[in-house]
Amino acid sequence: MTLAAGVVEGVEMRRVVVVGVTGAGKTTLAAALARTLNIPHIELDAIQWRENWAKAPLDEMLAALAQQTAGPGWVADGNYPKLRPALWPLADTVIWLDYSLGLCLWRVLWRTLRRVLSKELLWGVNRETIRNTLLARDGLLAWAVQTHGRYRREFEELMRGDDYVHLRWVRLRTPREAKRWLGYISAAKKPDPMMESGPGGRGGTRTPDLTDVNRAL
């Protein structure tokens, strides 16, 4: 099922996967959505990367993923096709940040400069450098160029295919659209004084329906 944005009437997002090309802002949106929904945020990069940019073995990644997705709700961010067979069957919603290549490249450049200057420690084990991120043939800048079109085709096929028909898709094409969508979800989760809740009768949380969400965008 594909939606312009939002949730199906009477159904809340509880197990969400956020995907998109490098630099789209998957982690930022996933963390914000997790806070809004009051559920854990799972960063797939943190499951994969070890010290000195060594990759964890697949069996260890799958074990960590199984442990972190055992709860009733979570928001996971990252593409990771090798984890998809274990992760996507558990999810109810996919958020696809389908942004332009130019925007993603600019974000990678700006994010890298910020991380290098601040000496930010990623996942407690690694730091980015100009060389390994922007200048290397296998760096993030080159990776974004190489995979932008491929991921767009791949997600289009997955969205329309039969492998994950249980998933609801939210395709967001610009940061402004993503901000408006997240703002709407945040507003919809606030207590509604007109709804009954508990023995006193008032103050519940409204679940937005599809008509509301499309109107918001």
Query: Which tens digits make up the pLDDT trace of 92-118?
Result: 999 999 999 999 999 988 888 888 888
Place of tokens 């990678």: 108
Model confidence pLDDT, tens digit, residues 127-179: 888 887 777 777 778 888 888 999 999 999 999 999 999 999 999 999 999 99
Q: Identify the pLDDT of residue 41.
A: 98
Residue 15 phi, psi dihedral angles, 5° rounding: -130, 105
Mean of pLDDT values over 73-91 = 97
The total number of structural domains in the chain stands at 1
DSSP label at residue 208: P
How large is the C-alpha radius of gyration of the chain? Answer: 18
Mean pLDDT, the chain, whole residue set: 82
Is the pLDDT score of 2 beyond 60?
no
Nearest CA-CA partner of 183 in 145, 203, 158, 212: 212
Return the structure tokens found at 12.
Answer: 């809340």
Return the structure tokens found at 5.
Answer: 């944005």
- Residue 32: domain span: 2-216
Reading phi first (left if > 0) and then psi (alpha if -120 to 50, else beta), residue 49 is in beta
| Whole-prediction pTM | 0.81
Q: Identify the pLDDT of residue 13.
A: 86
Nearest CA-CA partner of 81 in 139, 154, 31: 154
Here the CATH number for the domain that contains residue 45 is 3.40.50.300
Is the pLDDT score of 187 beyond 70?
yes
Question: Which residues does residue 55 pair with via DSSP β-bridges, in sequence order?
Answer: 49
Is the pLDDT score of 216 beyond 80?
no
